[in-house]
Amino acid sequence: MLLKALILLSFISLPTYLNAISEDEIKQIYLEKFSMFIEWPQDIERFNICIYNDKKFAISLQDKYESKKFSNYDLRITPLSIGEHNIESKECNMLYIRNTNYAQEITFVNNISSENILIISDNYDDIYRGSMISFYLKDNKLKFVINNEVLKKASLKASYKLLKFAKVVQ
Task: Break the chain into its structural domains and give their ranges.
Answer: 23-169
Do the Cβ atoms of 35 and 47 come closer than 8 Å? yes
User: What CATH architecture is 23-169?
Assistant: 3-Layer(aba) Sandwich (3.40)
- Which pLDDT score is estimated for 87? 60
Per-10-residue mean pLDDT of the chain, 170 residues long, equals: 39 46 94 92 83 92 86 86 63 85 58 76 88 93 94 92 92
Beta-carbon count within 10 A of 94 CB: 22
Q: How high is the pLDDT of residue 111?
A: 60
**In the prediction, which pLDDT does 67 show?**
82
The model carries a pTM of 0.81
* pLDDT score for 89: 54
Q: What CA–CA distance (Å, rounded) separates 78 from 20?
A: 28
Please give the pLDDT value at position 69: 80
pLDDT value for 90? 63
Residue type, 110: N
pLDDT of 159 reads 95
The string of DSSP letters for 51-64 reads: EES-HHHHHHHHHH
User: What does the alpha-carbon distance between residue 98 and residue 118 come to, in Å, rounded to a whole number?
Assistant: 14
Q: Which of 164, 158, 167, 165 is nearest to 40 (CA)?
A: 158
What confidence score (pLDDT) does residue 114 get?
59
Residue 120's alpha-carbon distances to 8, 11, 76, 105, 130, in angstroms, are 44, 39, 17, 11, 9
